[in-house]
Amino acid sequence: MTVLRLAFASLWNRRSTVVLTVLAIAMSVALLLTVERVRHETRNSFANTVSGTDLIVGARSGSVQLLLYSVFRIGNATNNISWESYQDISRHPEVEWMLPVSLGDSHRGFRVMGTSQAYFTRFSYGRKRQLRFTDGQPFDDVFDAVLGAKVASALGYELGQSIIMSHGLGEGAIYTHDGQPFQVSGILAPTGTPVDRTIHVSLEGIEAMHVDWQQGAKIPGKETSLDEIRQRELIPKAVTAALIGLKRKTSTFRVQRFINEYREEPLLAILPGVALQELWGLLGVAEKALFLVSLFVVLAGLVGLVAVLMAGLAERRREMAILRSVGARPWQVFGLLCLESLLLTLLAIGVGLLLFYAVFLLGSQWLSSSYGLDMTLGLPLLREWGILGILVLAGLLAGVLPGLRAYGQSLADGMSIRV
Amino acid sequence: MIEIEDLQYRWPGDEHDTLSIERLTVESGERFFLRGPSGCGKSTLLSLLGGILVPDSGKVTVNDKVINRLTATQRDRWRSDNLGLIFQQFNLLPFLSVTENVLLPCRFSKLRLNRATSGGHTPVEEARRLLQALDLNPEDFSGTVGNLSVGQQQRVAAARALIGAPPLILADEPTAALDAETRDRFISLLLDEASAAGSTVLVVSHDLGMIPSFDRDMDLMSLNNNSSSVTSGDS
């Protein structure tokens, strides 16, 4: 108890020299926690994005790429599935449902996805959770659109809002489908998945947007009226990808093989879980590297702490001798140094946690809007507690070296002051 | 109180004994002054009496305990229970308050805590009583150590040595940093309080001016059979 009070008082006395060390460790702790949390949340959010989908189909490319563009809306498809192939596969006896995904247009940075009405009843995320409407209903008319929760909240849209789609992706898309405005018919409840940042329209809607277009460019001067478009039979030529639900899980590999060996067109069918694992395998190396780097930053901070404590010992010889003269045992002098190191580490962890939450509060907004990663702010997770526990231990250990030095010094000096 | 017999001590690496004392006896309650110039082995003798150093041969008995036969841990414990120490200068921890500095021995020795509180008051009250007895004002000891003059600091150190009435108080050149006037006042206050507490006082110094205040004085040079061969090792 006495030693603890002495450690506190002595540290407080040297606060100007120790504060930077504490800050350095605090920042490294915050970095480590951030890396760890982002890793955890990324995995969580990715794993929660699809459930209940047995197969994802797209043009033949990499399985990770297909997974990324079809469900996460990251990257672009290199090719499409022709509408004939799509229909052919959907007629396979084992296929219970098949949801088209047609991408390529956007509205103010949010992606527009053409799909079928069944999407709203069949698609599930997280632990088999269904999509839910907070407002309105699925699209019915060709020019109806259903907004994800984030789209509605970010742009402040409500039901009936008229929106113009842009051709291509990104905020500054030059070509707009201004001849065919869409109406918001429904708004979905938040899901914490890319669905929140998607504008859903019917496949016919996607076709309708491109009525006056040819080869990816608008035909000058041609303006077909909306009613005229509605009269037409709007059959898509192709879709970007498709999500498939099977009647029996056991037939997954059979249907996968059927699609992969499809003769009319080179296609690829993937199991979302398997592709996700593949993705983790790719990211794992980067994750580990990041984690290691931040671990070494913490280590550097702790080495700095040892250096500061060691450097302080020379000028604290008198302090140690006085302590010895009033009855402190050598092991108490050793304990004093260990305690100081421990206290500083604890303080650094405290400050580091505050920094971490501050970064998190500021950064989660940005992560959410730019990457669709929704971070949940909460108490440290079990693994994080584990990391913090190890750091506390490391802090205590960091005191051992200066502690031993002080122990040796106080044995040699005794109570005589040699400064 | 102190009994030294056939003591011999040599600093490691030295050719001759630093100290060779056939016999030294200090009675309980005595105020004993040991004089000698710098480098004659005064601090070495104090370290031997304090159980920091152990003689190569002979016997050091303090308060009926042969301290050179104790283990290092036992000596540590014994020292904190039985010894009050005053150094030349800078005796105090700057990051503790005056009162906390005085209370330090009570934090490391239960025995001294018990003795300090035996009068029925708290340790803090006892510390304040001692500080006042040593002529310090309450406004002086409520603040930090740094605001005190050197003379005041030495009196705080004396109060710390006295708290919990240790049987023996050792002082190593306690007045070296004081002028003659403050020196005399310091010594008389220290000796009076030590007498009140029943502590034996041993002061080593080269300052002969304070000899009249003591019961007995002795020259370490004459006591030490090997004084001519002292080379180094203390100050």
Question: Does the pLDDT at position A373 exceed 80?
Answer: no
Q: Mind telling me how many Å the CA of A409 is from chain B's nearest CA? A: 13
CB contacts under 8 A, A 357-416 vs B, are 414-416
Query: Would an 8 Å CB–CB cutoff place B91 in contact with chain A?
Result: yes
Residue A3 has a CB neighbour count (10 Å cut-off) of: 21
Assign 3-class secondary structure to A81-133. EEHHHHHHHHCCCCEEEEEEEEEEEEECCEEEEEECCCHHHHCEECCCEECCE
Cβ <8 Å between A10 and B95:
yes
Instruction: Determine which helix (DSSP H) or strand (DSSP E) holds B192, and give its type and residue range.
Output: helix B180-197
Q: What is residue A400's predicted lDDT score, i.e. its pLDDT?
A: 93
Q: What is residue B235's predicted lDDT score, i.e. its pLDDT?
A: 40
Q: What is residue A269's predicted lDDT score, i.e. its pLDDT?
A: 95
The chain-wide mean pLDDT, for chain B, equals: 86
| Nearest chain B alpha carbon to A326 | B105
pLDDT above 70 covers what percent of chain B?
A: 96
Q: What is residue A168's predicted lDDT score, i.e. its pLDDT?
A: 78
CB contacts under 8 A, B 52-81 vs A, are 52-53, 73, 76-77, 79-81
Q: What is the pLDDT of residues A260-309, one digit of tens each?
A: 999 889 999 999 989 999 988 888 888 889 889 988 999 998 999 999 88
Burial A287-303 (b: 16+ CB within 10 A, else e): beebeeebbebbeebbe
Cβ <8 Å between A12 and B95:
yes
Q: What is the pLDDT of residues A205-262, one digit of tens each?
A: 998 888 877 777 777 777 778 888 888 888 888 999 999 999 998 999 999 999 999 9
The chain-wide mean pLDDT, for chain A, equals: 87
Query: Would an 8 Å CB–CB cutoff place A9 in contact with chain B?
Result: yes
Lowest mean pLDDT segment, chosen from A38-47, A58-67, A80-89: A38-47
Give B90 or B133, the one with higher predicted confidence. Answer: B133
Q: What is the pLDDT of residues A188-202, one digit of tens each?
A: 998 888 899 899 999
Question: Does the pLDDT at position A377 exceed 80?
Answer: no
**What is the C-alpha separation between A46 and A44, in angstroms, rounded?**
5
- Looking up tokens 């020795």 gives B109
Q: Mind telling me how many Å the CA of A9 is from chain B's nearest CA? A: 6
Cβ <8 Å between B79 and A327:
yes
Q: What is the pLDDT of residues A339-361, one digit of tens each?
A: 999 999 999 999 999 999 998 88
Cβ <8 Å between A322 and B108:
no
**Residue A416 pLDDT level (bands cut at 50, 70, 90):** low
What residues contact residue A117 under an 8 Å CB cut-off, 6+ apart?
A138, A139, A202
Q: Which of A81, A38, A64, A108 is nearest to A286 (CA)?
A: A38
Q: What is residue B229's predicted lDDT score, i.e. its pLDDT?
A: 45
**What is the C-alpha separation between B83 and B61, in angstroms, rounded?**
13
| Nearest chain A alpha carbon to B101 | A326
Q: What is residue A159's predicted lDDT score, i.e. its pLDDT?
A: 93
Cβ <8 Å between A322 and B73:
no
**Residue A419 pLDDT level (bands cut at 50, 70, 90):** very low
Average pLDDT over residues B138-150: 81
Q: What is residue A170's predicted lDDT score, i.e. its pLDDT?
A: 63
Q: What is the pLDDT of residues A310-341, one digit of tens each?
A: 988 888 888 888 888 888 888 899 999 999 99
Relative to beta strand A95-107, strand A182-188 is: unpaired
Assign 3-class secondary structure to chain A. CHHHHHHHHHHHHCHHHHHHHHHHHHHHHHHHHHHHHHHHHHHHHHHHHCECCCEEEEECCCHHHHHHHHCCCCCCCCCCEEHHHHHHHHCCCCEEEEEEEEEEEEECCEEEEEECCCHHHHCEECCCEECCEEEECCCCCCCEEEECHHHHHHHCCCCCCEECCEECCCCCCCCECCCCCEEEEEEECCCCCHHHHEEEEEHHHHHHHCCCEECCEECCCCCCCHHHHHHCCCCCCEECEEEEEECCHHHHHHHHHHHHCCCCCCEEEECHHHHHHHHHHHHHHHHHHHHHHHHHHHHHHHHHHHHHHHHHHHHCHHHHHHHHHCCCCHHHHHHHHHHHHHHHHHHHHHHHHHHHHHHHHHHHHHHHHHHCCCCCCCCCCHHHHHHHHHHHHHHHHHCHHHHHHHHHHHHHHCCCCCC
Question: Does the pLDDT at position B234 exceed 60?
Answer: no
Q: What is residue B233's predicted lDDT score, i.e. its pLDDT?
A: 43
| Nearest chain B alpha carbon to A316 | B93
Interface with chain B: mutation pick from A1, A8, A326, A336, highest number of B CBs within 10 Å:
A326
Relative to beta strand B31-35, strand A110-115 is: unpaired
Cβ <8 Å between A328 and B108:
yes
**Residue A131 pLDDT level (bands cut at 50, 70, 90):** very high
CB contacts under 8 A, A 314-353 vs B, are 318-319, 322-323, 325-330, 332
